[in-house]
Structure 1
Amino acid sequence: MKAISIRQPLAYLIVNGYKDVENGSWPTSFRGKVLIHAGKKFENETYYNVLKNLKIKLPPIEDFELGGIVGEAEIVDCVEKSKSKWFSGPYGFVMKNAKRKRFKPLKGQLGFFNVEV
């Protein structure tokens, strides 16, 4: 199965149904189910921006799972424009049917990578 590594808290926002677009610097023709891997790095600035500007209740920073699979979603499109508040481009992977999964430690990679399930 394909997976994509995304830094926290963005991975959390995707698998919990808040974030419907993941931004990328490259387009993709991939469509289908993808595992969401939480990278080992945490974006503190993003965390505080979400709390302040979007009023989404997030867990404490120390509770975020890092370095493993945290959920899955379905990529249904890749766009260059979007009305989603999450889109900043230049490309956006449109995500649907996201859900959390039991954490599974796993080393991530850049781009899409294969994971045995």
Structure 2
Amino acid sequence: MNALSIRQPWAWMIVNGHKDIENRPWKTHYRGQIYVHAAKGMTHDEYGFAADFARKLGVHVPPFDELERGGIVGTVKIVDCVDEDPSPWFFGEYGFLLKDPKPLPFTPLRGKLGYFPVDPEQLKIATK
């Protein structure tokens, strides 16, 4: 299954069912379930912007130091790619519409740009 690396706290908001769109500057034709990979990098400024934005929508994200980074945090299904949407989470050039988010136990894993393949066996081995 493919994974997509997303910076925190956006990754947390997606797998916990708050954020229904992932904004990207590129369009995708991919449809289906992906692993949500929480990117290793996150600055305090990025966190502050995202947490303030979420708070205005009634979502309170965990503190900076409690967000897991550098690994798989859940799954979500990409059901469409749009260039406009009424969702308050849409502010990108393109938005990947998301459904069926599921948090998973954190599994450390190196991320990559774009979609990247993850063998489910890797996750089983990493969690043992």
Query: What TM-score comes out, normalization by structure 1 length?
Result: 0.95
C-alpha separation in 1, matches of 2:14 and 2:115: 16
* Aligned-residue offset at 1:114: 0.5
Q: CA deviation at 1:6?
A: 0.2
**How many equivalent residue pairs?**
116
Which residue is 1:82 aligned to?
Answer: 85
Q: Higher helix fraction: Structure 1 or Structure 2?
A: 2
Corresponding residue of 1:46:
50
1:26-45 equivalences in 2 (<5 Å):
26-42=26-42, 43-44=46-47, 45=49
| Residue 108 (structure 1) aligned to one of 111, 115, 119 | 111
Please tell me whether the aligned partners of residues 51 and 60 of structure 2 are also in contact (alpha carbons under 8 angstroms): no
| Identity value in percent | 47
Which one has a bigger Cα radius of gyration? 2
1:66 maps to amino acid: R
* Larger CA deviation: 10-19 vs 34-43: 34-43
1:49-99 per-residue CA deviation (whole Å, 9 max, x = no partner) reads 323x22312211111000000000000000011011111121000000001
> Any unmatched runs of 5+ in structure 1?
none
Gaps of 5+ in 2: 121-128
Quote the Cα distance in structure 2 between the aligned partners of 1:5 and 1:84. 21
Determine the C-alpha separation between the residues in 2 that align with 1:70 and 1:103.
5
Tell me the TM-score normalised to structure 2 length.
Answer: 0.87
Task: Give the residue type in structure 1 aligned to 2:79.
Answer: V
Q: Which residue of 1 aligns with 2:6?
A: 6
Structure with more strand by fraction? 1
